[in-house]
Structure 1
Amino acid sequence: MSSGLARSLCALFLGVLAVLALPPFSLPVILPIAFGGLYLLVVGATRRTAGLAGWAFGVGFFLFGLSWIAESFYVDARRFGWMAGPAVAGLAAGLALFPAAAMAAFAWSRTKGVSGALIFAVCWSVSEWLRGTMLTGFPWNLIAYTWADYDIPRQMAAWVGSYGLGLLTVLLSVLPVTLHMRNRRQNAFATFVFISVVAGAGTLGTVRLMATTPPTDTTVRIVQGNIPQTEKWNPAFRDRNISRYLDLSAQSGRFDVLLWPESAFPGYLDENPGMLDQIADRLPEGSVLLTGAQTREPGVTGTRYRNSILAVDQTGRIVTRYAKHHLVPFGEYVPLRGFLPIQRLTAGLGDFTPGPGPQTVELPGLSPVGLSICYEAIFPGRVVDAASRPDWIFNATNDAWFGASFGPRQHLASARMRAVEEGLPMVRAANTGISAFIDGYGRIVARLGLDETGVLDARLPAALPPTPFAKYGQLTFLLILAASIVGAIGMTVRKESAP
C-alpha cells in the first residue's frame, strides 16, 4: 500500500463494495470488509493520504450507488442523454468530498484501537450529516439503511435516528479490524464494546417490536397507474392516462381515502372543473382524494409554479393543498439559473417555487395526515411538522424517471426509515411503483411492485407513541456523537497516563 495509486484503487473498490450492504442488496456482512479495509488504509496515514483514500472510497460508493440517476437523462435522450455519464460522475466526485474530509479529520486525530474506531465512526457519521444538510442536502444511501430490510436492528432509528444508527453501524464494522492492532487488554475491551452495542440494539429492537398495534378502521386505496415517464406528458396519451386513473379508482370496494401519486394528472387539476367532477363521481360518500398535481398562481414577479398535493372531496371541491418545500436541484429548479445555461429535466413552463415546509392536514372524518412529495422522504427529521404531529404520512412520488433500476428500491428504504424514526405509518403512492403501506416499525404491510398496474386497498396502520427521535430530533444523534468523542478521549488519556 506504499503506492498512492494502489491505495486509491483499493479504496475505490471498497467504496463500490460498500453499496452491496445497502438495499436492494442488503448484505450487512460486507461492511466489515468495506469499512474495515478503509480503516486500515487510513489509520496512521497523513491527512493528505487519508483524504485521497476517503475521496476514492466516496467516488466508488456514489458512482455505483447512484448510477441509476443516469436513467432520468434518457427519458428525453435527444436533449439530455449526453449528460448522463458526466452528471453521475460529477455528482459522485462532488459527494466524495464528504468522506474525503471525514478521513482527513480521522487522520488528524492520530487515534488507533477502540478509540480510533470511535473517532472513525464519528467522522463518517458527521460527514453524512453534513452531506444531508449542506447546499440543500442529499442524504441518500445513508449507511443506516443497511438495516432497512432487517426488523430488529432497524428499530434503533427510533432512538438515535438514521445518522446515529449509521455511527453505530460503522463502529461495529471497524471494531473487528482493531483486534490485531492492540494488546490483549485492548482486544478484550473492543470485544466488550462490540457485544454491548449489538446486545443493546438487539434488546431495544426486540422490545419495541413486541408491542401490538392493530390497524385503524380507515381504509386507504392506492392507485398505481404505471405510466412510463416518456408517455406521462405526451398529448397523444393524455386521455388514456386520465382514463386509467379514473377506471382504477372506480374498481369495486369501499375506501375512505383515495391516493394518487405525484403529478398523476397531466395538467393543472385545480383549473379543470370537468376533471374534478369526474373524480367526485368515483369517490364514495365521506371519502377524499389526495393526489399529486402541478399548480400555478400569480405572483409579484410572475407566475409561480408548485409541485403540490391537492385534497378533493366527494363534491369535487379542493379542500386543501400542500406545496413541496424541498425541491430537487435541476429536476424542479436550476440553481444559479442566471449563470448556468442548463434546462431542468422535468416538463413545465418554469422553475417550481418551494412551499413553506412540512404540513399536517386535517380533513373531516379522517385522522390528521402529514404530506410529503417524493424526494422529501429522504430527509431524516424533516418529513413532518413537529408542532402538529400527524397520525400518518402520505408520500406521493413518481419513480418512473428511474425505470426498473435500484433507485426506486433505495427510495423505498428511505421511506421505511422515516416511518421508524417518527413512529408513524407511511403510505407511499408511486406512479410505476413501489407503492406501499409501511407501519411505524418500518414493516411493509402491503405493496405493489415495480411496473405493476392496479390498486392496493388496506387498512391504515396505527400511529405509535412519539419516539425519542420524534420528540428530540437530531439531539439524540448529537448525544451519541458526544458520548463517542468523550469515550475516545478518555481511552486516549488513560493510555497515555498508564505506566
Structure 2
Amino acid sequence: MRPVSSLLLAFAAGAASVLAYAPFGLFPLVFVALAVLAALLARAGRARRGFLLGFVWGLGAFLAGVSWLYVALNRYGGMPAPLAGLAILLFCAYLALFPGLAGALFARLHPETIFARAGLFAALWVLGEWLRGFVFTGFPWLAVGYSQTPPSPLAGFLPLVGVYGVGGLVALVAGLLAFAPWRRLAQAWPGAVALLVLAVAGVALGRVAWTAPVGEPLRVALLQTNIEQGLKWQPGRLADWLDTNLRLVTENPAQLVVLPETTLPLLAEQLPEGYLEHLEARMNAVGGDLVLGVFTRNGQGHIHNAALSAGRSPRQGYAKRHLVPFGEYSPPLFGWFYVLADIPMSDQTRGPARQAPLALGDQRVAVNICYEDLFGAELLHALPEATLLLNLSNLAWYGDSLAQPQHLQIARVRALETGRPMLRSTNTGMTAVIRPDGSVQAVLPAFEQGALRTEVRGYQGMTPYAHWGDWPAVLAAAAVLLLLFPRLRRRPAPSAGR
C-alpha cells in the first residue's frame, strides 16, 4: 500500500471508531478500527512512519469525536470562526500525539510471535491513554474503553480494571485480529480461543454483584432547567431564571431534589435576600433535601464552581476540584486566550482534593461537577462511604452535538467501576439515573424542561476497581513491556530498493 493511501486509511479508521460510542453504539467497530491501525503499524518499518500512522488515526478520531468543542468557542465564547476552527484542530492534534507515540514505539520494536505483538500493542495503548488522562490536567474523552458499555461483553471487566484496563483488552483483541494468520487456521486458533475466552469471561463477570443495596428506596427529582446558554448570562433575564428554578423545585417535591451545574448564574452571596432560605423552607415542608449548582466565594476571595445543599439536613457544599482549562481557569502563559474568547466566570479556583460526601438523610452522596466524572480514579476518594454518585452538568455550551450522549456513556462507566448508581441533573441533557450495572434506569429527552422523578437505592461495598483504581491496568501494561523487552529487537530499516 502506498504511504499516502495508508495514512488516509488510518485517518478513516480513526474517524470511524467514533461510531462505536454513544449515540451510535456500534461497539464492535472499535476493534476493527484499532485492528486496521495495528496492521498498518506492523508494516510501518520505521518509528517515524509509526508515529505518523498513530497520529493520523488519532486525528481522525478526535476531529470526528470532540469537534463539538467548536460550538463553545465560537457560538457561545465569541471566538471568530477561523480562530475557533484552528484552536480545535490544534487541540485534536495535541491529543493525537499520544496514539502517535504508541505507534512510533510499536513500529520501532518487533516482537516475533503473534501474542507478543498483540501484547505490546495493548500495553502501549493503555499507557498512551493513561498519559492522555493526566498530562496537562488530562483529557481522557474517547478512551476506547468507554465504547464498551453494555451490551458489550467486555463491560464485565469495568468493575475490575476500569476504563483503561478495558481499553487494553480492546487493543489486545484488535492486535489478535490484525496479527493472526487467519488464512492458516492451524496457526490462528490460539488467537480465536483467546477472543472466545475474553468474551465468555466478560459475560460471566457482568453477572457478579460487587455491591449491594443499603437503606430504603429514595424518592428523587432530577431537574432539567433547559436554559439556553446564550441567554443564561443576560442580566435582564436573571429574575426569570430564579423563578424557573424556584418553580421546578416547588412542583417536584421529593426526598432528594437536584438542580444542575451553575443553575443560578451568579455567586451565592449575590442571591436575592431570602431566596436560598425560601428554597430551604420548601424542602423542609416535604422532609427532603435540595442540591443546586451555584458559584461560591471562599474566605480568600477565590471563586468556586460549587454545589450547595439546603433542606432537612444541615447545609453542606462541594467545590469542583478538576477544572476545565481555558473554560474555568487560564493555564500559565495563556491569558491571551481570553482576549479572543468571552467566557463568564473563567477565573475559578479548584476545590480541596478530598471532600466528604454530602450527608443527606440516610444517604451519603458523592458530588462531581460536569466533566469531573471523566476521571474515574479521582471519584474513588469518596468510597466506601458514598452510597450514591451525583453529577451536576451544563452541556448547553456544546449545543445539540455528540457531547451529551458521549457524556452519558462516560457516566455509565463510572457506575460500573464503582458499583454505585449515578444520578445526573443537567441543564439541557442528558438528565438520567444509571444503575450500578451501567444500564440507564430513566432519562429525560434533551432540550426539554422537566423533572425526572423516580426511586433509587443507595449501594455499599467495593468493586476491585474501587480498591485499586487505575494502577492494576497501568502496572500490567508496564509489566508486559518488561517481560517482552528481552525479546524485542529493533525492526531492521527497509532497504533502499523496497
TM-score, normalised to structure 1's length? Answer: 0.90
CA distance in 2, matches of 1:92, 1:395: 26
CA distance in 1, matches of 2:408, 2:372: 12
Q: What's the secondary structure of 1:48's corresponding residue?
A: helix
Identify which range, 86-95 or 459-468, moves more after superposition: 459-468
CA distance in 2, matches of 1:265, 1:234: 12
Q: How does 1:341-356 map to 2 (within 5 A)?
A: 341-343=337-339, 345-348=342-345, 351-356=347-352
Q: How does 1:215-294 map to 2 (within 5 A)?
A: 216-251=216-251, 254-272=253-271, 273-283=273-283, 284-294=285-295
Q: What's the secondary structure of 1:353's corresponding residue?
A: coil
Contact 1:359/1:371 (8 A) holds in 2: no
Q: How does 1:28-47 map to 2 (within 5 A)?
A: 28-44=27-43, 45-47=45-47
Contact 1:296/1:305 (8 A) holds in 2: yes
Q: Which amino acid aligns with 1:460?
A: V
Q: Counterpart in 1 of 2:359?
A: 363
How far apart are 1:19 and its partner, in Å?
1.2
How far apart are 1:401 and its partner, in Å?
0.6
How far apart are 1:186 and its partner, in Å?
3.6
Q: How does 1:23-422 map to 2 (within 5 A)?
A: 23-44=22-43, 45-76=45-76, 78-111=78-111, 113-150=114-151, 152-180=153-181, 186-208=187-209, 216-251=216-251, 254-272=253-271, 273-283=273-283, 284-299=285-300, 303-313=301-311, 319-337=315-333, 340-343=336-339, 345-348=342-345, 351-363=347-359, 365-386=361-382, 389-422=385-418
CA distance in 2, matches of 1:331, 1:345: 10
Q: What's the secondary structure of 1:163's corresponding residue?
A: helix
Contact 1:288/1:311 (8 A) holds in 2: yes
Q: Which whole-Å deviations, capped at 9, do the CAs of 1:450-494 have from their partners, x for residues lacking one?
A: 10111111112331521000011123213542564477569989x
Q: Against the structure 1 CA distance between its residues 361 and 214, is the aligned structure 2 distance closer, same or farther, given a 3 Å change threshold?
A: closer
Q: Against the structure 1 CA distance between its residues 449 and 66, is the aligned structure 2 distance closer, same or farther, given a 3 Å change threshold?
A: same
Q: Against the structure 1 CA distance between its residues 358 and 216, is the aligned structure 2 distance closer, same or farther, given a 3 Å change threshold?
A: farther
Q: Against the structure 1 CA distance between its residues 223 and 40, is the aligned structure 2 distance closer, same or farther, given a 3 Å change threshold?
A: same
Q: Which amino acid aligns with 1:413?
A: Q
Q: Which amino acid aligns with 1:10?
A: L
CA distance in 2, matches of 1:357, 1:250: 34
Contact 2:307/2:319 (8 A) holds in 1: yes
CA distance in 2, matches of 1:293, 1:417: 27
CA distance in 1, matches of 2:207, 2:94: 39
Q: Which whole-Å deviations, capped at 9, do the CAs of 1:421-459 have from their partners, x for residues lacking one?
A: 111111111011101111211111111121011111111
TM-score, normalised to structure 2's length? Answer: 0.90
Identify which range, 357-366 or 191-200, moves more after superposition: 357-366
Q: Does residue 21 of the first structure (1) align with residue 23 of the second (2)?
A: no
Percent identical among aligned pairs is: 31
Contact 2:412/2:434 (8 A) holds in 1: yes
Q: Counterpart in 2 of 1:496?
A: none
How far apart are 1:206 and its partner, in Å?
3.0
Identify which range, 93-102 or 144-153, moves more after superposition: 144-153
Q: Which whole-Å deviations, capped at 9, do the CAs of 1:270-298 have from their partners, x for residues lacking one?
A: 44332113312421343211111111235
Which 4+ residue blocks in structure 1 deviate beyond 6 angstroms?
489-493
CA distance in 2, matches of 1:487, 1:274: 65
Q: What's the secondary structure of 2:251's corresponding residue?
A: coil
CA distance in 2, matches of 1:189, 1:488: 19
Q: Counterpart in 2 of 1:456?
A: 452
Structure 2: stretches of 5+ with no match in the other structure: 490-498
Q: Which amino acid aligns with 2:247?
A: D
Q: What's the secondary structure of 1:342's corresponding residue?
A: helix
Contact 1:369/1:391 (8 A) holds in 2: yes
CA distance in 2, matches of 1:378, 1:55: 23
CA distance in 2, matches of 1:216, 1:442: 21
How far apart are 1:341 and its partner, in Å?
4.7
Q: What's the secondary structure of 1:381's corresponding residue?
A: helix
CA distance in 2, matches of 1:68, 1:291: 26
Work out which of the residue numbers 424, 427, 432 in structure 2 matches 1:428.
424
CA distance in 2, matches of 1:166, 1:50: 20
How far apart are 1:338 and its partner, in Å?
6.3
Q: What's the secondary structure of 1:462's corresponding residue?
A: strand
Q: Which whole-Å deviations, capped at 9, do the CAs of 1:56-101 have from their partners, x for residues lacking one?
A: 1111111111111111123336445443211211111111100000
Q: What's the secondary structure of 1:223's corresponding residue?
A: strand
Q: More relative contact order in 1 or in 2 (CA 8 Å, sep 6+)?
A: 2
Contact 2:380/2:469 (8 A) holds in 1: no
**Number of residue pairs matched by the alignment:** 484
Contact 2:212/2:461 (8 A) holds in 1: no
Q: Which amino acid aligns with 1:41?
A: L
Q: What's the secondary structure of 2:396's corresponding residue?
A: helix
Q: Against the structure 1 CA distance between its residues 132 and 221, is the aligned structure 2 distance closer, same or farther, given a 3 Å change threshold?
A: same
